[in-house]
Amino acid sequence: QVTVVESGGGSVQAGGSLRLSCAASGFTFTSDCIAWFRQGPGKEREGVASINTNTGTTFYADDSVKGRFTISKDNAKSTAFLQMNSLKPEDTAMYYCLALVGVAGCPGALLGESWSSYARLGVWGQGTQVSVSS
């Protein structure tokens, strides 16, 4: 059984940092893709970043997080991370990890492909709340 558990959320002031963790189990961690999504208050869920757990190739959903957020992985711990620096109030959201087990490709790998198209293809965690105050 595939399980995904996020942790590391919290409340910080603007400009602060947080490191989210996504601990996965029940599948071969190095053969799939892990993606982070977020859903802010009153907003639709949106993609943030993804990583091919085999090659380590990373993808970011848009320029608003590039340069501030970094996705990485630790194969030995079957865990993916999202390092978030220079946080802004607009980063306030519930952050979710999606394990795309047995799915070809990663969100962001193909230009123009919708990140939301992957939402039904994997296993979601319960989410971790990030709140950024101004």
Rounded distance, CA 7 to CA 21, Å?
Answer: 5
- The series of mean pLDDT values per 10 residues for the chain, 134 residues long, is 96 98 89 94 96 94 94 95 98 97 89 89 96 97
**Those residues with Cβ within 8 angstroms of residue 62's Cβ, 6 or more apart along the chain or in another chain:** none
> Which secondary-structure segment (H or E) carries 11?
strand 10-13
Residue 47: predicted pLDDT: 96
What's residue 77's pLDDT? 94
